[in-house]
């Protein structure tokens, strides 16, 4: 477990994380909360339904996408 809390002293990973955060935070809040002119959950699910994806599957995609990304990052950190 100690590798989970170990950090690098290099600047580039921090800059990359901050840049990704500044890009992904507004995008995620548009889709999930309706901030920054987004449709929120209802708008996102209606978009999925317009593509022929049922609402239940859309919810799984929204929730599972974040969970899958977090799992991959955690697995990479611990290896």
Model pTM score:
0.55
- Per-residue pLDDT tens over the stretch 32-60: 888 888 888 888 888 888 989 888 887 77
Q: Count how many residues are written for the chain.
A: 79
Cα distances (angstroms) measured from residue 47 to each of 53, 61, 64: 9, 13, 17
> What gap in Å lies between CA 26 and CA 38, rounded to an integer?
9
> What gap in Å lies between CA 37 and CA 31, rounded to an integer?
9
The answer on pLDDT for 72 being more than 80 is no
- Per-residue pLDDT tens over the stretch 1-20: 556 667 777 888 888 888 98
Instruction: Give pairs for 36-43: CB < 8 Å, separation 24+.
Output: none
Residue 12 has which token pair? Answer: 């580039």
The more confident residue out of 49 and 74 is 49
The ranges assigned to domains in the chain are 9-78
């Amino acid at each position: 477990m100690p590798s989970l809390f170990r950090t690098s002293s290099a600047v580039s990973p921090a800059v990359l994380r901050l840049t990704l955060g500044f890009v992904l935070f507004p995008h995620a809040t548009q889709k999930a909360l309706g901030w920054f002119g987004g449709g929120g959950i209802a708008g996102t699910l209606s978009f999925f339904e317009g593509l022929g994806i049922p609402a239940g599957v859309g919810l799984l995609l929204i929730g599972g996408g974040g969970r899958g990304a977090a799992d991959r990052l955690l697995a990479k950190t611990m290896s």
